[in-house]
Amino acid sequence: MELKEAQEKFISAWGAIGTHWGINRTMAQIHALLLISNNALSTEDIMSQLNISRGNVNMNVRELMSWGIVHKVLKFGERKEFFTAEKDIYKTAIQILKERRKRELIPILNLLGELQSENIQESGGEHFKKVVGDIHQFGESTNKMLEKMVKADEHWFTGSLMKFLVKK
Amino acid sequence: MELKEAQEKFISAWGAIGTHWGINRTMAQIHALLLISNNALSTEDIMSQLNISRGNVNMNVRELMSWGIVHKVLKFGERKEFFTAEKDIYKTAIQILKERRKRELIPILNLLGELQSENIQESGGEHFKKVVGDIHQFGESTNKMLEKMVKADEHWFTGSLMKFLVKK
DNA sequence: AAAAACTTTCATTTTTTTTTGAAAGTTTTA
DNA sequence: TAAAACTTTCAAAAAAAAATGAAAGTTTTT
């Protein structure tokens, strides 16, 4: 297999995974392209390699930067901006967990907390409160677990957590 | 707040979360509705409560059943089918992890394995193989971790794993 | 201060995903 | 075995999401 073919397979698969996790295909493909690129790429590099428009690249690259997994790189003597992806996959994973915790878990925990503290007397209210309470508790546990993982250094995964989970 | 209002907020929030995780809004809302319903619901109950068509209910309920988090219930003396969601949130979470592992993680691990074993000589190939290799290794670790979690009983989360992660 | 080199925005178009609902299919009842 | 009660399918419509590209905006150079 040629390098180019292998790269295309990888980019395509990464894009497909993204769609399964609520990430748009192009954003995931740009991430994949930057991961496998040795050097930082310009907007035009990305446009031509993925065959997409300037506006599309701009939007998705900025989204990737807002997730903290792609960074702007300025090269001496060059006016244009280049982009590079964090290459340490553990750091990337933790960064994504961190952001999803902030953007998704915390808000739902707040809602669940509010719903739980409502004074609902109607019939059926008990079952509702039980379900909400259970999910809230589960969410809080997940939240604590993520806090722990995110605070640890990037070696938590291969370190003691993995030893605990896999070997024991 | 009235029960109905609280329920609507919950269903709506559950639907929104779904979309962030690659699950269609309606499927997540049906799941939410079944979670907070004390009794199993018929297709028509779901249609009227969520204001959606018969075909839509049928499709999404079957999808939820394929994930193993919603079950068909037959009532004595009734011809129609009723549906109920697994109410244990830990079991539900594990079931989802199990399915996603099978449907998404395993296939990508297979691809990464293939790409890794390719004999690529071209320049740039080394960086590509390093990235693919790193992700493959990360995926294998995740896979092992999930295997462990899924094999354990439903109390892993509050049990020793949580003690390990949160308290230590 | 004008031109050049670049980035960002966003109304419009395109693509993709989701929903509808009527017809076809199936099972149960009379 | 015919009708009734129900479930499933799927082509078409609708809705939602993503992509385009040209114009506007910004920064740097001359």
Q: What is the pLDDT of residues B36-71, one digit of tens each?
A: 999 999 999 999 999 999 999 999 999 999 999 999
Please give the residue of chain B at the shortest CA–CA distance from A35: B131
- The residue assigned the tokens 């297709």 is B43
In this structure, is the CB of residue A53 within 7 Å of any atom belonging to strand D? yes
Answer whether residue B1 shows pLDDT above 80.
no
**pLDDT of B81:** 96
When pLDDT is cut at 50, 70 and 90, the band that residue A124 belongs to is confident
Q: Which residue has the tokens 């280049």?
A: A82
Residues 76-115 of chain B within 7 A of strand D, judged by CB, are 78-81
From the CA of B54 to the C1' of C23: give the distance in Å: 14
The mean pLDDT of B82-100, rounded to a whole number, is 95
Chain B residues with CB-CB distance to A2 below 8 A: 120, 122
Q: Which residue has the tokens 């794993």?
A: B161
Distance CA(B71)–CA(B65), nearest Å, equals 6
Q: Averaged over A140-146, what is the pLDDT?
A: 91
d(CA A131, CA A133): 5
Classify domain A3-85 by CATH number: 1.10.10.10
Q: What is the least distance, in Å, from the CA of B41 to any CA of chain A?
A: 14
By mean pLDDT, which of A35-39, A114-118, B157-161 is the weakest?
B157-161
- Residue in B128, B155, B160 to test binding to A, most A beta-carbons within 10 Å: B128
- Residue A150 is predicted with a pLDDT of 82
Strand D contacted by B22 CB (< 7 A): no
Is a pLDDT exceeding 80 seen at residue B146? Answer: yes
pLDDT score of B149: 82
pLDDT reading at B116 higher than 50: yes
Q: Which nucleotides of C are covered by protein (CB under 7 A)?
A: 5-11, 17-23, 28-29
Please tell me chain A's helix, strand, coil percentages from 3-state DSSP, rounded to the nearest 5.
Answer: 70, 5, 25
CB contact under 8 A, B89 and A17: no
* Closest-approach nucleotide to residue A57, Cα vs C1': D19
Domain boundaries, chain B: 3-85, 89-167
Return the axis-axis angle of helices B106-117 and A3-20, rounded to nearest 10°: 170
Q: Measured on CA atoms in the order A112, B159, B91, B112, is the torsion positive or negative?
A: positive
* pLDDT at A168 (0 to 100): 46
Average pLDDT over every residue of B16-30: 95
Residue B168: pLDDT band (50, 70, 90) is very low
Closest CA relative to residue A116, chosen from A95, A144, A135: A135
Q: How far is C-alpha A50 from the geometric centre of its chain's CA atoms?
A: 21
